[in-house]
Amino acid sequence: MRSNKKSDMLRTLQTLSRQRDENKKTNAHREHFKPLSVWEKLGYDVERIEQLTPDHLKEMHPVLGTTCAIEERIKTAEDSKSVTNDNRDSELIKLAG
């Protein structure tokens, strides 16, 4: 009975960790989708953005036209929290295992 609770807890923890990671990735890209005109005003080379942006980072908006997300890797306080959360998850998995 006890091992069944541990395995249920482990499965739940793994599911929640996976969902958190997926949401973080989705939200990170969603926040940075901007029309090409905005990228241009921010000083970016829109021709290069159009040429080099992978399809999964382009969207067609009915009013704004083509929007693109630029993958920028900036370490933030949220990234540090993520490392802490990942370490905590690893420890919980070890304890449940």
Contact 95, 13 (CB under 8 A): no
Instruction: Note the pLDDT of residue 47.
Output: 92
Quote the CA–CA distance of 68 and 70 in Å, as a whole number. 6
Q: What is the pTM of this model?
A: 0.44
Q: Note the pLDDT of residue 89.
A: 66
| Cα–Cα distance measured from residue 27 to residue 81, given in angstroms and rounded to the nearest whole number | 16
- E strand or H helix at 56, and its extent? none
Dump pLDDT digits (tens) for 5-61. Answer: 888 888 888 888 888 777 766 655 555 789 999 989 989 899 998 898 888 889 998
**The tokens of 90 are what?**
């690893």
**d(C-alpha 26, C-alpha 32), whole Å:** 10
Structure tokens at 53: 């942006």
Domain ranges of the chain: 20-96
